Amino acid sequence: MRAGSVLGEAWRDLVSGTTRAGVFALVFVIGVGLIGVIDIRSMVAILQGAAQFRAAGASVQTLTAPSMVDGLRCDELAGTGALNHAGALRRAAPVTILNLPANPVTVIEATPGLVTMLPVIAQPVQTDPAITGGVWLSADLARVLGATPGTIIHTASGDTVVAGVYTWRDDGRARDLGYTMITPVPADGSFDQCWAEIWPADGTASGLPYLSLTGNTTHAKVTVGQLNTTLGATYDTANLLAHRLTAPAPWAAALIGLALGYLAIQLRRLEIASALHACVPRADLLWTHLVETAAWTLSAGLVTATGLLWAARLDNPDPGFAVWIDGLRIAAAGAAASLLGTSGAVITTRENHLFRFSKDR
């Protein structure tokens, strides 16, 4: 048979309903799609945990050595290995805001690196891109003052503008930046702490903050801690994804696809045996049934892929398509296994089974 004849035969079987394409496509979407959604949602849950870990400041390591931290060295650690952000800070003299004369406000002087880290560990933040200087206020302090980015704050030492407002949640993190005014300062000079955001988890990067110490630290009390310990010491996203309970999902989808492909042919074994008895080449039969199976697996795969895209995007903190692409492996495994099941069923069907098939019918 020519290719056109094979395609024509497959088309007639599909149109006439002989293939039962709609039924098998529906079962494929339900079975393989459900497995894919379960696996994708488990991955999204892991990514949500990772985002929560970072937002809580649990990925930030704090090195404390009063007046022994070189601000420039600390800032320059950013971008080294898994160390994404780094910045130094020190406590300055409290400032009296004229609106609150009886309650001096804690002031923290921070290097540019620490200010850059705020949108990662102090979400949400409010900023005004038009403001190049000014101070940052915690959301609690800004609420009391009725301040927003661009507001002029009148203090005993002069007026200053609010460059940004950050949220410092009460979720177990150190309260260093709670109800505080942050004043950005140049990284030159000595500071009390160096904060380093290490992400993804990397044990080899935990010693990098020590590089920010000045040479005269022999008698200094140096302590290293975690900004927020309530969520555990580390969150290894890659390891959790690799060892999630639903990792074998592609194999489960392949079993469903294999069973569907095999069943689709077993229901038509009398037809195949009759064709073999009529001297139709087995290769032509195989190609015809593969085309038919490909037709309903392709249509079912497209519907499944659309559903998996919705599952991958719902509440996913990762804006990329990595989870969806990973989920597509499940649909692909089911589709490939369907073709394999079809091939196996056609190959194992024998002409000498014709009379037994007729009798069983």
* Per-residue three-class SS string for the chain: CCHHHHHHHHHHHHHHCCCCHHHHHHHHHHHHHHHHHHHHHHHHHHHHHHHHHHHCCCCEEEEEEEEEEEHHHHHHCCCECCEEEEEEEEEEEEECECCCCCCCEEEEEECHHHHHHHHHHCCCEEECCCCCCCEEEEHHHHHHHCCCCCCEEEECCEEEEEEEEECCCCCCECHHHCCEEEEECCCCCEEEEEEEEECCCCHHHCCHHHHHECCCCCCCCCEEEECECCCCCCCCHHHHHHCCCCCCHHHHHHHHHHHHHHHHHHCCHHHHHHHHHCCCCHHHHHHHHHHHHHHHHHHHHHHHHHHHHHHHHCCCCCCCCHHHHHHHHHHHHHHHHHHHHHHHHHHHCCHHHHHHHHHHC
Q: What is the mean pLDDT of residues 161-174?
A: 94
With a pLDDT cut of 90, the percent of the chain lying above it is: 64
pLDDT in tens, 210-243: 999 987 666 568 899 999 999 998 999 999 999 9
| 113-129 per-position pLDDT tens digit | 999 999 999 989 999 88
Mean of per-residue pLDDT scores for the chain = 86
In a domain, 89, yes or no: yes
Q: What is the dihedral of CA 299, 303, 306, 312, to 10 degrees?
A: -120
Tell me, yes or no, whether 235 lies in a domain. Answer: no
- Whether 262 maps to a domain, the answer reads yes
Asked whether 73 and 215 are in contact (CB, 8 A), the reply is no
- At 57-114, the pLDDT tens digits run 999 999 999 999 999 999 999 998 889 999 999 999 999 999 887 889 999 999 999 9
d(CA 333, CA 39): 14
Query: Rounded to an integer, what distance in angstroms lies between the CA atom of residue 71 and that of residue 113?
Result: 9
- Confidence class for position 157, pLDDT limits 50, 70, 90: confident
Query: Binning pLDDT at 50, 70 and 90, where does residue 361 land?
Result: low
Mean pLDDT confidence for 165-187: 93
Is the pLDDT at 285 greater than 60, yes or no? yes
Residues 260 and 114 in one domain: no
46 in the same domain as 92:
no
End position of a domain, from candidates 203, 230, 257: 230
Q: Is residue 325 part of a domain?
A: yes
Q: What is the mean pLDDT of residues 185-207?
A: 91
In the prediction, which pLDDT does 57 show? 93
Identify the domain containing residue 272 by its residue range.
3-52+240-360
- 123 found inside a domain: yes
Closest Cα partner for 258 from 343, 345, 338, 347? Answer: 338
Same domain, 35 and 86: no
Characterise 355 by phi-psi region: left (phi > 0), alpha (psi -120 to 50), beta (else). alpha
Specify the range with the lowest mean pLDDT, choosing from 46-50, 200-204, 304-308.
200-204
20 and 149 share one domain: no
| pTM of structure | 0.84
- Per the structure, how many domains does the chain have? 2
Q: Specify whether 40 is located in the same domain as 94.
A: no
Question: Which span out of 9-13, 80-84, 285-289 was modeled with the highest average pLDDT?
Answer: 80-84
User: Is position 121 within any domain?
Assistant: yes
Q: Are residues 47 and 71 in the same domain?
A: no
What is the rounded distance in angstroms from the CA atom of residue 251 to the CA atom of residue 338?
A: 12
> What are residue 196's DSSP bridge partners?
61, 86
Has residue 294 been placed in a domain? yes
In one-letter notation, the amino acid at residue 249 is A
Q: Which residues contact 246 (CB under 8 A, 6 or more apart)?
A: 38, 39, 42
What local confidence, expressed as pLDDT, does residue 17 receive? 61
- Per-residue pLDDT, averaged over 285-299, amounts to 79
pLDDT band at 255 (very low <50, low <70, confident <90, very high): very high
Q: Which of 325 and 10 is assigned the larger pLDDT?
A: 325
Structural domain contains residue 85: yes
169 in the same domain as 83: yes
More confident residue, 146 or 277: 146
Confidence of residue 302 (pLDDT cuts 50, 70, 90): very high
Predicted pLDDT at 5:
53
Confidence of residue 290 (pLDDT cuts 50, 70, 90): confident
